[in-house]
Amino acid sequence: MRALCWHGKGDIRCDTVPDPEIEDARDAIIRMTSCAICGSDLHLYNHFIPGMKDGDIMGHEFMGEVVEIGSSVSNLKVGDRIVVPFTIICGECEQCRRGNFSVCERTNRNASLAAKAFGHTTAGLFGYTHLTGGYAGGQAEYVRIPYADTTHVKVPEGLTDEQVLFLGDIFPTGWQAVVQCDIQPSDTVAIWGCGPVGQMAIRSAILLGAKQVVAIDCVPERLSMAQAGGATTIDFDEESVIERLNQLTNGKGPEKCIDAVGLEAHATRSIDSVVDRAKQAVMLESDRPHVLREMFYVCRPAGVVSVPGVYGGLIDKIPFGAVMNKGLTIRTGQTHVNRWTEDLLRRIQEGQIDPSFVITHTVGLDDGPEMYETFRDKKDGCIKVVLKPH
């Protein structure tokens, strides 16, 4: 089959690789109908996340049709249409039973590697680093789903791929980012990053009833999409984020701050970001925490800082004095996808939201490598890419 494979920094190719096979009684194989490129894929593409190997198959946001099932999978049948959450879950361990699916204790087959890096293991993830199990991803014609009886969302009749595809990642991610802010009707929510995750967070904050949503980025078309979703926007190339946020909140700062940017934050002409880049270049620091610094500084005392943006390792110069003295709450994590999918699927069916608004490019698998570049460099108005492998 054809699949998009990682071959090093900035090098993704559409290769021919062996078809996946059932390896365990809880497996299923799906034939891909749609898959997407996620901002997290860019961190791998730019090689900021350690633990990738030559030839790894990319992709963790995908859906398709079941073509084969293992002997113990009783709740799926050949022909079922499913969306696959990017977090592989056993459904039985202590964390899964609490709904903390992204830290499932059993699905990471490289658990000891993860424990070395993070102190404890986290869930197995599709198409991601070997620290999270090194499972083959879904930017391919077929993929093997381990723990398939729990790791899926069934798609009801009458919904298009485009409407439900993002249930596997960015929609629940934006949603959880806002849910863990515990929105009150008087809240101002500031969201850094108007990529796909930021866009979903903006809509989630509106639906969950925030008084004011402020979105921050520097890419004009992304800001225009943020505005369409109900956000007031700040272009950080043009104005001071901190000053403007204070101005929009009578000098008090936003109660809730969301980092939908992650470890590759850029900042124009700010001294801290230049220092971060230099340190990253000589490997004194792995991540660029400009957004975290800004959030901790501007967040209202007793506020919440929610971090769906991905970080991989070490950061410097975090104003923890501000966090402590202002009594901030920090919430973060890879998304517990299946905790939200049932509710979100209902909201899509009821027409409260149609997540397909974010798609700007739809292409075949062969054009995938080029699309990585287009998405990374924000060329051609690109915000979200969907690939059609067949």
Partner 1 sequence: MPHHQEAHRPAADTVARGLGWFSLGLGAVELLGAKSLARWMGLDKHEALIRAYGAREIATGIGLLTSRDPGPWMWGRVGGDALDLAILGTALSDRDAETDRVVFATAAVAGVTVIDVLCAQSLDASRRNESDRHWDYGDRSGLPRSPTQMRGVARDFEVPRDMRIPEALRPYDQAQRRPL
Ligand X SMILES: NC(=O)c1ccc[n+]([C@@H]2O[C@H](COP(=O)([O-])OP(=O)(O)OC[C@H]3O[C@@H](n4cnc5c(N)ncnc54)[C@H](O)[C@@H]3O)[C@@H](O)[C@H]2O)c1
The contact set with ligand X (CB under 6 A) reads 38-40, 42-43, 169-170, 173, 192-198, 216-219, 222, 236, 260-262, 265-267, 290-291, 308-310, 334-335
- Using CB under 8 A as the binding rule, the residues of this chain from 253 to 312 that contact partner 1 are 264, 266-269, 271, 273-274, 277-278, 281-282, 302, 304
Q: Which of 15, 371, 39 is nearest to 195 (CA)?
A: 39
Which residues, other chains included, contact 293 with Cβ-Cβ below 8 Å and sequence gap of 6+?
272, 317, 318, 319
| CA trace torsion 247, 250, 256, 257 (10° rounding) | 20
User: Could you say whether residue 96 binds Zn ion (CB under 5 A)?
Assistant: yes
Nearer to Zn ion, 105 or 316 (CB): 105
- Residue 209 interacts, among Zn ion, partner 1, ligand X, none and using kind-specific CB cut-offs from 5 to 8 Å, with partner 1
Binding footprint of partner 1, residue count (CB under 8 A): 64
Residues 6+ apart with CB under 8 A from 197: 39, 170, 173, 174, 177, 260, 308, 309
**Number of Cβ within a 10 Å radius of residue 326:** 16
What residues form DSSP beta bridges with 217? 235
CB of residue 37 to Zn ion, shortest distance in Å:
9
Both tokens of 18, joined, read: 């062996």
- Work out which of 1, 117, 159, 208 binds partner 1, going by CB under 8 A: 208
Binder of partner 1 out of 11, 92, 354, 366 (CB under 8 A)? 354
Q: How far is the CB of 291 from ligand X (least distance, A)?
A: 5
| Residue in 36, 63, 165, 179 binding partner 1, rule: CB under 8 A | 179
Asked if 102 contacts 90 with a C-beta cutoff of 8 angstroms, the reply is no
Q: How many CB atoms lie within 10 A of CB 45?
A: 23
How far is residue 230 from each of residues 51, 201, 206, 224, 227, measured CA to CA in Å? 39, 11, 7, 10, 5
Tell me which of ligand X, Zn ion, partner 1, none is bound by residue 318, counting a contact when its beta carbon lies within the kind-specific cut-off of 5 to 8 angstroms. Answer: none
Rounded to an integer, what distance in angstroms lies between the CA atom of residue 28 and that of residue 386? 23
**Smallest distance, partner 1 to C-beta of residue 232, A:** 11
> 327 contacts which partner out of ligand X, partner 1, Zn ion, none, CB within 5 to 8 A by kind?
partner 1
Degrees to nearest 5, angle at CA 52 with 47 and 56: 115
Q: Could you say whether residue 55 binds partner 1 (CB under 8 A)? A: no
Q: Is 105 in the site for partner 1 (CB under 8 A)?
A: no
**CA–CA separation, 206 vs 198, rounded Å?**
12
Binding at 63: pick from ligand X, partner 1, Zn ion, none (beta carbon under 5-8 Å per type)? none
What does the per-residue mask of binding to Zn ion show for 2-41, with x meaning CB under 5 A? ------------------------------------x-x-
Is residue 229 part of the contact set for partner 1 (CB under 8 A)? yes
CA distance 51 to 109: 14
Residue 354's binding partner among partner 1, Zn ion, ligand X, none (Cβ under 5 to 8 angstroms by kind) is partner 1
Minimum Å distance from CB 174 to ligand X? 9
Q: Which is nearer to ligand X, 6 or 236 (CB)?
A: 236
Token pair recorded at residue 52: 């990738």
